[in-house]
Amino acid sequence: MAYSDTAAVIFDMDGIIFDTERLYIESWKAVGEEFCLENVVEMAYKIIGVNETMLLMTSLIDMF
């Protein structure tokens, strides 16, 4: 298929079409288990949909 044949492109940025949140949580859980990390799933839920600035702020708040 050539680009000229493409009528539309769909971006699913918020998970309406595909349930990417479930895969995201499963991935974090696997990493946590592999590296013996605690509370990985809880942390992952806290940062879903968060940009880099808010992620940094959340991390710093949790540290102190």
Rounded Cα distance between 43 and 47, Å, is 7
pLDDT of residue 63: 63
Asked whether the whole model's pTM tops 0.75, one would answer no
Q: What is the DSSP string of 27-43?
A: HHHHHHHHTT-SSHHHH
pLDDT (tens digit, 9 = 90+) per residue, 17-57?
888 888 989 999 999 999 999 999 998 888 888 888 888 88
Read off the pLDDT band of 64 (50, 70, 90).
low
CA 63 – CA 57 distance, rounded (Å):
10
Q: How much is the pLDDT for 41?
A: 92
Crossing angle of helices 20-34 and 40-47, rounded to 10°:
140
pLDDT confidence of residue 34: 96
